[in-house]
Amino acid sequence: MRCLIQRVSEASVTVDGAIIGQIGQGLLILVCAMDGDDAAAGQKLATKISKLRIFRDDDGRMNKSVSDIGGSCLIVSQFTLAADTSRGNRPGFSGAAAPDVGRVLYDKFCDQMRVLDLPVETGEFGADMKVALINDGPVTIWMDSDA
């Protein structure tokens, strides 16, 4: 499973002109289930992300987690994180899990973040979404359950 995590001061996702998910300070998490992933991969990443100390403490150092600051998570499915750009100019996405598997793993990942007592908003799996954010820092971190 792959995640691109962005520390945000606010973020939202819109489908068909309507905001379906919105947070203030917290994390925008773009998620891609990869071929061969299982729920354990999502659990591993959820636990790691919930403890990731990338928010400022009183001294301005990145020393607090999203839980520590009372932040929220906006979790958006994004199969394009599986892009293979090793050949030619058109990325391939065959490394992404099949849509039916991807949806189940995405939903489980969101549930795992909720189990960790984090407020979670989501996008809509498979929809054409418009994501707006104010990246705080900017801080953007790539995570892969295989790494």
| Options 78, 109, 112, 122, the catalytic residue | 78
Catalytic residue among 79, 109, 112, 122: 79
- Using pLDDT thresholds of 50, 70 and 90, give the confidence band for residue 146: confident
To the question of domain 2-144 being in CATH 3.30.565.10, the answer is no
* Claim: this prediction has a pTM higher than 0.85: yes
**Within 39-98, where are the H helices?**
39-51
Active site residue 79: yes
d(CA 8, CA 97): 27
**CA atoms of 14 and 34, how far apart (whole Å):** 25
- Residue matched to tokens 């729920």: 39
Known catalytic residue at 47:
no
63-122: per-residue pLDDT in tens? 999 999 999 999 999 999 999 999 999 999 999 999 999 999 999 999 999 999 999 999
Angle separating helix axes 39-51 and 99-115, nearest 10 degrees: 40
55 is catalytic: no
**CB within 8 Å of 131: residues ≥ 6 apart:** 11, 12, 13, 14, 28, 76, 123
H or E element: which one contains 6?
strand 2-15
